[in-house]
């Protein structure tokens, strides 16, 4: 599997470290339902069979965090952008 | 499986009835075992097992066949030992030779601190009544002389923990044995029937919608391994599970060489030899979400490098084939056998890459839960809500990161 790093170009996935689902968002700790929201944020995943947005770290290259859009059925990658947004 | 075919009787393939007492979604090892124990232990015979492919087409037919019970953390230790005890009587119980071979499993230690760690593991096992022996380098040079004991070894072998009762079983026979034994009690096994939704009645699950029509059920159990998340999503449940791909490999067949199951200690690598002579081995999951039943080459390289570090002679062999299976990786690396928040719906998932060895106990405990609506004692801690209560069973101490378990 090759990941198209926006800075380095297409590179083998062994240069990258996987974190997981990029769509989960850290909840507001001051919210009244914060306890439940943090549980869901830490532990629960949609785990889709198909398009998945996920975080990869390019430790063997530019050291950027990427949001990669990948199909979990075919491993086809349709998009890879910097997690921080823009060019870093 | 040719050597078994003569001893196997044909299975009755069933058309679905309109209603059952219990419907089990998933005709793999765990689902078939659950149906068998529902009938054998609880007298519940009006049961259907619904499988979207064919019996044994999932992980029960694509694993490295290792059975063992060397777990350390409360919640796992007694459960997996119970499973190994069921394995020891399984051929008789099912009247089908599952070819359990208690050839012993070594977990190697490659440094003094790792030897301390495996000694601790062995002590915990023995305190729980499980067999374990600590062996030193001299013992190993006699028992497994073909490993790399040279001074050039990248990971020198200091010793190992040996569980003599561990070993392998014939995975195809396990699936078939449970299917046929369940069938003999009148359980309906329905293949090529995919669940497309749940029948909801007043907030309770009252059956399943399938590609072969609606099937009503008093109670419904899910045992679908890597597909747990999207089956559970049909009942609006989100699970603490990610699906990952794990690869396994077989070499060309050779004369008898590896008499035991070997587990490398420096990386995740395990190897045994099949009755046909092929060396069967595997390593870690690829490490990213996947439903593809195939992995990528860096994981192949890691596995082969680990094998070569332990057994340099492996480099002389050709790889015959490799394949991938879908692992339901839970957030703490341990399984879930529990009720769900939805009435009438029971869940069996989170087996990570260790589900095969658990097949008998998983079926036994899931059947008990469904029949009595209360957990079987050795599975009482395998709760779905342990991520809420904090009573996690994190054998590896890796935290809520499924690809690290």
Same-domain status, B45 and B153: no
Cβ contact (<8 Å) for A48 and B230? yes
CB-neighbour burial class of residue B273 (10 A; exposed 0-12, middle 13-18, buried 19+)? buried
Using the Cβ of A34 and the Cβ atoms of chain B, whether some distance falls under 8 Å is answered with: no
Same-domain status, B278 and B384: no
Residue at B5 is within a domain: no
Q: Which of B233, B289, B331 lies nearest to residue A72, judging by beta carbons?
A: B289
Same-domain status, B290 and B326: yes
State which residue of chain B sits closest to A55, comparing Cα positions: B288
Residue at B304 is within a domain: yes
Same-domain status, B248 and B319: yes
Report the CATH number of the A2-82 domain. 3.30.2270.10
Q: Which of B230, B243, B400 lies nearest to residue A43, judging by beta carbons?
A: B400
Q: Which band of pLDDT confidence, cut at 50, 70 and 90, is reported for residue B13?
A: confident
Using the Cβ of A40 and the Cβ atoms of chain B, whether some distance falls under 8 Å is answered with: yes
Token reading at B401: 């990161």
Using the Cβ of B303 and the Cβ atoms of chain A, whether some distance falls under 8 Å is answered with: no
Q: Token pair 């037919």 is at which residue?
A: B61
Give A54's contacts in chain B (Cβ within 8 Å).
288-289
Same-domain status, B377 and B260: no
Structural element, H or E, at residue B180: helix B171-184
Same-domain status, B153 and B194: no
How many A-B residue pairs are in contact by the CB < 8 A criterion?
71
Nearest one of B98, B103, B101 to B170, comparing CA atoms = B98
pLDDT digits (tens, 9 = 90+) for B174-188: 999 999 999 999 999
Q: Give the CB-side neighbour count of residue B345, counting CA atoms within 13 A.
A: 27
Residue at B4 is within a domain: no
Q: What is the DSSP letter of B146?
A: T
pLDDT exceeds cutoff 50 at A88: no
Using the Cβ of B359 and the Cβ atoms of chain A, whether some distance falls under 8 Å is answered with: no
Nearest one of A84, A56, A72 to B293, comparing CA atoms = A72
Q: Which of A1, A18, A73 lies nearest to residue B291, judging by beta carbons?
A: A73
Residue at B393 is within a domain: yes
> Where residue B129 sits, what CATH number does that domain have?
3.30.9.10
Which of B330, B355, B380 is at the close of a domain? Answer: B330
Residue at B10 is within a domain: no
Secondary structure of residue B248 in the 3-state scheme: strand
**Average pLDDT of B389-403?**
95
Beta bridge partners of A52: A70
Residue at B215 is within a domain: yes
Token reading at B382: 């395998």
Q: A8-41 in b/e burial notation, b at 16+ Cβ within 10 A?
A: eeebebebbbbebbbebeebeeeeeeeeebebbe
Which of B297, B330, B363 is at the close of a domain? Answer: B330
- Please, what sign has the CA dihedral across residues B189, B52, B230, B215? negative
Domain ranges of chain A: 2-82
Nearest one of B248, B232, B180, B324 to B26, comparing CA atoms = B232
Provide the number of structural domains found in chain B.
2
pLDDT recorded at residue B376: 98
pLDDT exceeds cutoff 50 at B167: yes
pLDDT exceeds cutoff 70 at A86: no
Using the Cβ of A20 and the Cβ atoms of chain B, whether some distance falls under 8 Å is answered with: yes
**Average pLDDT of B208-231?**
97
ipTM of the complex model: 0.95
**Average pLDDT of B164-170?**
98
Which of B306, B330, B354 is at the close of a domain? Answer: B330
Domain residues for the domain of B321 are 105-165+243-330
pLDDT digits (tens, 9 = 90+) for B138-155: 999 999 999 999 999 999
Residue at B53 is within a domain: yes
pLDDT exceeds cutoff 90 at B209: yes
Residue at B207 is within a domain: yes
Same-domain status, B262 and B394: no
Cβ contact (<8 Å) for B227 and A49? yes
Report d(CA B293, CA B306) in Å as an integer: 22
pTM for this model (two decimals): 0.96
Cβ contact (<8 Å) for B387 and A43? yes
Q: What is the DSSP letter of B297?
A: H
């Amino acid at each position: 599997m090759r990941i198209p790093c926006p800075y380095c170009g297409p590179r083998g996935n062994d240069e990258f470290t996987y974190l997981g689902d990029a769509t989960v968002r850290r909840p507001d700790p001051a919210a009244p339902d914060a306890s439940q929201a943090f549980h869901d944020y830490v532990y629960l995943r949609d785990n889709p069979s198909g398009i998945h947005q996920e975080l990869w770290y390019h430790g063997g290259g530019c050291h950027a965090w990427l949001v990669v859009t990948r199909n979990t059925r075919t491993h086809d990658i349709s998009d890879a952008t910097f997690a921080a947004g823009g060019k870093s | 499986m040719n050597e078994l075919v003569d001893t196997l009787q044909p299975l009755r393939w069933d058309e679905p009835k309109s209603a059952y007492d219990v419907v089990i979604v998933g005709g793999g090892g765990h689902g078939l075992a659950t149906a068998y124990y529902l009938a054998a232990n609880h007298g519940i015979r009006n049961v259907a097992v619904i499988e979207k492919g064919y019996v044994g087409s999932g992980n029960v037919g694509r694993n490295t066949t290792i059975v063992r019970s060397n777990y350390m953390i409360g919640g796992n230790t007694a459960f997996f030992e119970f499973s190994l005890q069921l394995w020891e009587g399984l051929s008789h119980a099912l009247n089908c030779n599952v070819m359990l071979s208690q050839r012993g499993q070594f977990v190697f230690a490659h440094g003094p601190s790792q030897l301390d760690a495996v000694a601790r593991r062995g002590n915990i096992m023995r305190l729980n009544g499980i067999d374990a022996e600590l062996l030193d380098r001299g013992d190993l040079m006699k028992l497994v002389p073909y490993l790399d004991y040279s001074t050039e070894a990248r990971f020198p072998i200091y010793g190992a923990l040996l569980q003599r009762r561990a070993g392998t079983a014939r995975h195809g026979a396990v699936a078939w044995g449970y299917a046929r034994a369940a069938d003999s009690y009148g359980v309906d096994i329905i293949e090529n029937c995919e669940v497309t939704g749940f029948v909801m009645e007043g907030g309770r699950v009252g059956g399943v919608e399938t590609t072969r029509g609606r099937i009503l059920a008093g109670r419904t159990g899910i045992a679908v391994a890597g597909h747990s998340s999207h089956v559970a999503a049909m009942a609006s449940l989100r699970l603490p599970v990610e699906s990952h791909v794990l690869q396994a490999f077989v070499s060309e067949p050779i004369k008898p060489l590896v008499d035991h199951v070997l587990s490398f200690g420096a990386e995740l690598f395990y190897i045994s030899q099949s009755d046909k002579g092929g060396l069967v081995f595997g390593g870690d999951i690829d490490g990213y979400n996947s439903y593809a039943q195939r992995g990528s080459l860096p994981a192949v390289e890691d596995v082969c490098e680990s094998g070569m570090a332990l057994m340099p002679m492996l480099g002389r062999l050709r790889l015959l084939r490799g394949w991938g299976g879908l692992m339901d990786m839970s957030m703490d690396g341990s399984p879930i056998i529990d009720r769900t928040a939805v009435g009438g719906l029971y869940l069996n998932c989170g087996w990570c890459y260790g589900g095969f060895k658990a097949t008998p106990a998983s079926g036994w405990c899931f059947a008990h839960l469904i029949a009595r609506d209360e957990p079987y004692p050795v599975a009482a801690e395998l709760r779905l809500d342990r991520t809420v209560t904090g009573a996690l069973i994190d054998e590896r101490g890796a935290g809520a990161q499924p690809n690290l378990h």
